[in-house]
Amino acid sequence: MPSRGRHQTTSKECKAVLRRIEALEGVGGVIIGRSYGGKSLGAGGSTGSIRIQRKVSGGLKAVTQTEKGVQEIFIRTEAGAEDGIAETIRGWE
2-39 pLDDT, tens digit each:
444 444 566 788 888 889 999 999 999 999 888 888 76
**% of the chain exceeding 90 in pLDDT:** 44
In a domain, 2, yes or no: no
CA distance 28 to 23: 9
Is 5 contained in some domain? no
Which positions ≥6 away from 43 have C-beta within 8 Å? none
Residue 44 lies in a domain: yes
| Domain-embedded: residue 7 | no
- Domain hosting 18: range is 12-90
DSSP sequence for 47-88: TT-EEEEEEETTEEEEEEE-SSEEEEEEEEE-TT-HHHHHHH
CA distances from 89 to 63, 64, 71, 75 (A): 12, 12, 16, 11
- Asked, for residue 68, whether it belongs to a domain, the answer is yes
pLDDT tens sequence across 55-74: 999 999 999 888 888 889 99
Mean pLDDT, the chain, rounded, equals 83
The reply to whether 48 falls in a domain is: yes
Calpha distance 37→75 (Å, rounded): 21
Q: Does any domain span residue 24?
A: yes
Please give the pLDDT value at position 6: 47
**30: helix, coil or strand?**
strand
CA angle 52, 40, 17 (to 5 degrees): 50
In a domain, 21, yes or no: yes
- The number of folded domains in the chain is 1
| Per-residue pLDDT tens over the stretch 34-60 | 888 876 766 566 788 889 999 999 999
